Amino acid sequence: MNLVAIAINHHTAPINLREALHLSSDEISEYIGKVKDSLFSEGLVVSTCNRTEIYGIPAKKDITFKDIQDSLIEFKAGFGIQPEHFENLQAAEAVRHLFSVICGIDSLIIGDNQIYSQVKDSFILADNNHFTGTIMKRVYDLALKTGKRAISETAINEGAVTISFAAVQLIEKIFSSLNKKSALVIGTGETGEIAAKHLSERGIGKLTLTNRTFEKAELLADKLNAVAIPFPEFKNELHKFDIVLSATSAPEIILTKDELAAAMKKRNYASMVVMDIAIPRDIDAGSREIDYVFYHDIDNLNVIVDQNLKKRKDEISKVQAIIEEELKSLLDWYNSLEAGPTIKILRDLFESVRAEEVKSNINRFSDSDREKLDIVTKKIINKLLHHPTVELKKILLENDRDETVQKISLIRDLFGLNDSHKKE
């Protein structure tokens, strides 16, 4: 299987490099438009808070990992990123990695229960951009199945396991009690909403929310007995909060070091925890230099990550076993798409239909004609299948392996051969 992948993630690069190559949904669509047909015949782009990964079937035989890396770096102007910041994966290893990602065992927070929907959304985006074909659709189906099995058959993501949850846990380690503290959550998308809910559940003294779409912040505030403030006003209110947690999807910094320093001056330098869990980051990382500001980003969650890993270590091997089962299923499917087996199954299908029709109509013919009926119908089947058989053999000779798989898979789908094969 000529599937390849490149991955820059929390294993290979620090946060400043990961955010340099992070792609929004619109950017993914634009990037697909640039690489479709030139680099890949079909593929998938996954970009979350901890990874940007490109999977695909190369459009040409001479395409290298460096070509793919360069296409991403050039697209994002990601200067300073080196080859060692990428994982390069091929064939079964690429699929195994994707399955590990969707199951949450390759996440910064093991068992991350947001990653399944994020990968699913990535597949939908690829499909909407006509970037999926026979192979990637099969990979997609089995990736979803693998992720669902990990959720239902193991305890890998038992409980609330997200970056947001880890961030709130870290805040609790800094402040022993939250009931007298005030918190501002900036951004009420999925990540911000989860963080706000965890703060509320932990008994935060006062919770304030802000979002570019004010109505969204208001709606969540009503649910959590919190306060919503308009986005343009939050900087003026910043000095009132002991905790600031930011999780927007803004492409640039929304809170500078100088703005935070001004807020600290208004607070008389009372301690403030600043938790930035956005990618790209929302808050100037230089803010950690301000006295009494405890600045943290995703890469500072190591204590929580280590605790989480210990709790879920036993479940990882169970998930890996599921991954290997579904990977074998994919490879068995891929290897079954040979001309020879397909010709046999196609002939078997036609023969079973012929035999069934002869049997159901045999009484309409005299004994002397029954043998002739059998011979004539077999000749008809042989003539009908002669050209398809010749063309199937030509497919194998004239195309590379992945093109052969795509064409034979189409034939099997048209005639329902995969279904008939399962029934045998």
Between CA 66 and CA 88 the distance in angstroms is 9
CB atoms within 10 A of CB 389: 16
| Long-range interactions of 57-60: CB distance < 8 A, separation 24+ | 57/2, 57/3, 57/4, 57/133, 57/135, 57/136, 57/402, 58/2, 58/4
Burial of 130 (C-beta count, 10 Å sphere; 0-12/13-18/19+): exposed
Report the b/e string of 184-202 with b at 16+ CB within 10 A: bbbbbeebbbbbbbbbbeb
Which amino acid, 223?
Answer: K
Between CA 414 and CA 222 the distance in angstroms is 53
The residues pairing with 208 across neighbouring beta strands, listed in sequence order, are 184, 227
Length, in residues, of the chain: 424
Between CA 50 and CA 200 the distance in angstroms is 26
Helix (H) or strand (E) holding 361: helix 339-361
The residues pairing with 255 across neighbouring beta strands, listed in sequence order, are 283
DSSP assigned state of 232: G
Cα separation values, 129 from 23, 93, 192, 283, 365, Å: 15, 25, 28, 33, 56
Between CA 388 and CA 390 the distance in angstroms is 5
Provide the H-helix boundaries in 225-301.
Answer: 234-237, 257-266
Torsion sign across C-alpha atoms 91, 95, 98, 104: negative
103 is a catalytic site residue: no
Q: Among 271, 188, 177, 267, which residue's Cα sits nearest to residue 223?
A: 188
Q: Collect all residues with Cβ–Cβ distance below 8 Å to 351 and sequence separation of at least 6.
A: 381
Q: Six-digit token pair at 65?
A: 């990992």
Task: Tokens 């965890």: give the residue.
Answer: 198
SS3 state of residue 379: helix
Query: Among residues 44, 49, 68, 119, which one is catalytic?
Result: 49
DSSP assigned state of 255: B
Looking only at the bridges linking them, the beta strands covering 87-90 and 182-186 are unpaired
> Which residues are annotated as catalytic?
49
